[in-house]
Amino acid sequence: MHRRQKPRAPEHKRDFAAHGGAMSMSHNDTRSFFNFSQLVLSAGHLKPAPVLKHSKITYFEVEILDVQSKKQICIVDKVPPSSTLLDVKHKFHKACPQWYPSRVGLQLERNGPYLKDSVNIQSLAVSSIITLYFTDLGQQVGWTTFFLTEYTGPLLIYLLFYIRLSTIYDQVESTKNFRHPVVHLACFCHCLHYIRHLLETLFVHKFSGGHTPLKNMIKGCAFYWGFTSWIAYYINHPRYTPPAFGYRQVSFAALAFLICEAGNHFINVALAHQNHSGLKACFPSPTYNPFTWLFLVVSCPNYTYEVGSWISFTVMTQTLPVGIFAFLIVIQMSLWAQKKHKLYLKRFYPEVRRKAAMIPIIF
């Protein structure tokens, strides 16, 4: 007996079925990959997993040497890159308490300039060790203390001579002699000048540097206090003679003095409130205030008005001590004006190039 065998599918049909199944599976895979791609695109870009970085902060070591002997004074270690030179000075003060920060002068080179407190320590670094040279600047005072001391003395000294103390003048002669009105006017103008300076020191001026050597204050006080004593002694003396041209000379000079004092004040206010465009400061420009129009011809009009005040005071009182003081003030102010004018030329060249420093044509 023969078994009936199941009829086999033809060879070409089996090949077709196998090929068709493979095509079906490939189609499904393609469709699945397409759906997965659409899902990724709709969800956004795939972000790689954050890699944990073990970042290390680089610290600097600041080696401080004596500028004269080149001997090492101390090493300030673990200084962060974001630190300023003032931070280094504070750490140096902890190591050496006898030198407080304002007394410390640090230089990158022995003959180089003193570095500012705002300098970032990283900008000085060539390697992890920074070498700085130390100079003892001596005892320091703040600029506010400097000017208050310098200007308070003349104000009080002049008033002592004005009331004619018996220890200064002869009491009998002082009571007999009549005081010319210019004596009272000179006292008013002199006091007004120094009161303005004191008020501007407290409420107007903005000092860039924090301190100055004590010896500079002593020199300034000796100059102003000494000349004030000499000036006040002659003007308030019982035998003082009024100006040669009388009230006309006094009135004209007093008016010029008041104009210069007002101009000086408005210029100082303009300098204290300089306009800023972005990060670059602009040179002060004249405003509707006529006293600021001097900015059109000179770069330091505050010195121009200061000189004008003392020249007017000299004409008003007609005394030799005031004339000598005014002459010295002109020399000193012209030197300061030339120095500032050079700095202005570097910072504001297009605006300052056609201007004089203090007095048109002359300086």
Tokens of 315: 């004409």
Same-domain check for residues 88 and 151:
no
Same-domain check for residues 90 and 145:
no
Sign, CA dihedral 232-260-281-347, equals: negative
Cα–Cα dist 46/207, whole Å: 56
Residue 33 lies in a domain: no
Tokens of 297: 């011809």
Place of tokens 């000349």: 227
Q: How far is CA 292 from CA 135, 273, 280, 289, 335, in A?
A: 42, 13, 22, 6, 22
Tokens of 35: 């759906």
**Among the listed ranges 47-56, 113-122, 181-190, 322-331, which one has the minimum average pLDDT value?**
47-56
Same-domain check for residues 246 and 315:
yes
Single residue among 137, 166, 192 that ends a domain in this structure? 137
Cα–Cα dist 225/169, whole Å: 19
Q: Mean of the per-residue pLDDT values for the chain?
A: 84
Q: What is the pLDDT of residue 314?
A: 98
**Percent of the chain topping pLDDT 90:** 60
Range of the domain at 181: 139-240
Q: Is the pLDDT of residue 284 over 90?
A: no
Single residue among 196, 223, 240 that ends a domain in this structure? 240
Same-domain check for residues 150 and 229:
yes
Same-domain check for residues 127 and 230:
no
Residue 79 lies in a domain: yes
Same-domain check for residues 197 and 272:
no
Cα–Cα dist 319/180, whole Å: 14
Residue 26 lies in a domain: no
Q: Is the pLDDT of residue 361 over 50?
A: yes
Which tens digits make up the pLDDT trace of 240-258?
Answer: 999 999 999 999 999 999 9
Tokens of 156: 């009080």
Residue 306 lies in a domain: yes
Most confident of the ranges 78-82, 169-173, 296-300, 311-315? 311-315
Q: What is the pLDDT of residue 350?
A: 75
Same-domain check for residues 127 and 161:
no
* 359 closest CA partner among 314, 317, 303, 318: 303
165 close to 233: Cβ distance less than 8 angstroms:
no
Q: What is the pLDDT of residue 276?
A: 42
Q: Is the pLDDT of residue 351 over 90?
A: no
* 274 closest CA partner among 344, 195, 197: 344
Cα–Cα dist 124/248, whole Å: 64
Q: What is the pLDDT of residue 264?
A: 97
103 close to 94: Cβ distance less than 8 angstroms:
no
**Percent of the chain topping pLDDT 70:** 81
Tokens of 256: 């010029």
Q: For residue 133, what pLDDT band results from cuts at 50, 70 and 90? A: very high
Cα–Cα dist 307/81, whole Å: 48
194 close to 221: Cβ distance less than 8 angstroms:
no
Same-domain check for residues 297 and 318:
yes
- Indicate the length of the chain as a whole number: 363
Same-domain check for residues 144 and 108:
no
Single residue among 92, 115, 137 that ends a domain in this structure? 137
Same-domain check for residues 251 and 309:
yes
Residue 37 lies in a domain: no
Domain count, the chain: 3
At residue 243, the 3 state secondary structure works out as coil
**Among the listed ranges 200-209, 215-224, 332-341, 354-363, which one has the minimum average pLDDT value?**
354-363
76 φ/ψ angles, rounded to the nearest 5 degrees: -95, 110
Cα–Cα dist 166/251, whole Å: 31
Same-domain check for residues 126 and 152:
no
Same-domain check for residues 131 and 170:
no
Which tens digits make up the pLDDT trace of 4-53?
Answer: 444 454 444 444 444 444 444 444 555 555 555 555 445 545 455 444 44
Residue 3 lies in a domain: no
pTM of the shown model: 0.78
Q: How far is CA 108 from CA 61, 104, 117, 132, 171, in A?
A: 14, 13, 13, 5, 63
Q: What is the pLDDT of residue 22?
A: 44
> Judging by DSSP bridges, how do beta strands 60-66 and 129-136 pair with one another?
parallel
